[in-house]
Amino acid sequence: MIKENYKLPATYHLGSEGCGCAGEPPGHPRYFVRSIYTNSGNNPPYNRPQYYLNGTGFTSLKDVDLLYGTSNFPKLPLDHPRTIGWIKENYKHFNHCYYHPTEKEYNSQMTVIYPVPNYKLKTFVDDPRFSDEWREKEKASIEVYNNDVLKMTKEIAISENHCAVVIIRKHYPEYQPEIDLIENPPKITETWWERMNEKPTPENCPGSGSLRTKHPVNGSWCQVCGWHKVN
C-alpha cells in the first residue's frame, strides 16, 4: 500500500535515512527512505505505512523499490562516476565470492569462496588407537573429499558467477565482468555515490547518515570520501 501526503500520528517518529539499502545502486530510494516508529518501536500496525519517503507512506520496501528508475530516482548509466564507484565497492565487498548457480534458496552453500580456504577442506587427524589400515583409508577418503571440493569450486568460480557480477546484473543486465577487478579488487572505496551527485574532498566531506557523522567517519579513514590516514 502507498499512502500519499501521509501525516505521522502524534506519537510516531521517523528513523534515520537508509532501510535495507546495502548493495543497492547509486541513488536508489532505499538510501533515503526512513522507518516509521511508534512509541514502542518500529511496529506500526501491519496495514499502515511502515516506511516514509518524501511525504509518502509505504507498507513495503518493495513498493519503495518501484521508484528506482523514475525521474526522481533515475537509473544512472554504467559509465557514470557514481555507478563506477558502486561497481568497485561490489568487487571489494565480494572479493573471492561466487554464487552457486544451482542453489535457488538461501543457504550456507549458496556462496562459494575461491580459492578454497583451508577451513573448507578436511585434514587428517591421527588416532593411535586405530590401525595403519584405518589410517590409509581415512587419508584416502579425505583426499577424495578435498579433490571433489576443489574441483566443484573451480568449476563454479568463473566470472559469470562472481557475486559482484550477479548483483550488478540485477540492475544492469548488459554488464560484462571486469577480470581486472575480480583479480585485483580495490582496497579502498567510498560510499558518496549512494546519495551525493559529486564526490566530496576530505576538506568538504559531510560525513554519513542523517545525523551527519563528521569526516573522518572512522577516525583513520572515511567511508564516505575514501580518505585514509597516512602513517
Distance CA 94, CA 102 (A): 19
- 24 and 61, same domain (yes or no): yes
Range(s) of the domain holding residue 51: 2-65
Distance CA 92, CA 64 (A): 27
Region 215-220: mean pLDDT is 81
- 114 and 170, same domain (yes or no): yes
Distance CA 77, CA 158 (A): 25
Last residue of a domain, one of 48, 65, 82: 65
Last residue of a domain, one of 25, 50, 65: 65
28-35's contacts with Cβ under 8 Å and 24+ in sequence apart are: 28/65, 28/68, 28/73, 28/194, 29/53, 29/64, 29/65, 29/67, 29/68, 29/72, 29/73, 30/61, 30/64, 30/65, 31/194, 31/195, 32/195, 33/58, 33/61, 33/64, 34/210
Is 156 inside any structural domain?
yes
Look at the pTM and tell me if it is higher than 0.85: yes
Structural contact between residues 8 and 18, judged by C-beta atoms closer than 8 angstroms? no
Region 174-193: mean pLDDT is 94
Share of the chain above pLDDT 90, in %: 72
Exposure string of 95-114, with b = 16+ CB inside 10 Å and e = fewer, is bbbbbeeeeeeeeeeeebeb
Mean pLDDT (the chain, rounded): 90
Tens-place pLDDT, residues 193-214: 999 999 999 888 888 765 567 7
Is 83 inside any structural domain?
no
- 49 and 116, same domain (yes or no): no
Last residue of a domain, one of 183, 199, 214: 183
Length of the chain: 231
* Confidence bin at 49 (pLDDT 50/70/90): very high
Q: What is the pLDDT of residue 107?
A: 52
Q: Is the pLDDT of residue 105 over 60?
A: no
Backbone CA torsion sign across 3, 6, 9, 12 = positive
Tens-place pLDDT, residues 109-157: 688 999 999 999 999 999 989 999 999 999 999 999 999 999 999 999 9
Distance CA 203, CA 225 (A): 10
Is 205 inside any structural domain?
no
Is 100 inside any structural domain?
yes
- Identify the top-confidence range among 100-104, 108-112, 170-174: 170-174
Is 152 inside any structural domain?
yes
* Confidence bin at 108 (pLDDT 50/70/90): low
Is 194 inside any structural domain?
no
- 58 and 100, same domain (yes or no): no
- 178 and 103, same domain (yes or no): yes
Number of domains in the chain: 2
The interaxial angle of helices 81-93 and 163-171, nearest 10 deg, is 150
Q: Is the pLDDT of residue 47 over 60?
A: yes
Is 20 inside any structural domain?
yes
51 forms beta bridges with: 35, 58
* Confidence bin at 176 (pLDDT 50/70/90): very high
Is 165 inside any structural domain?
yes
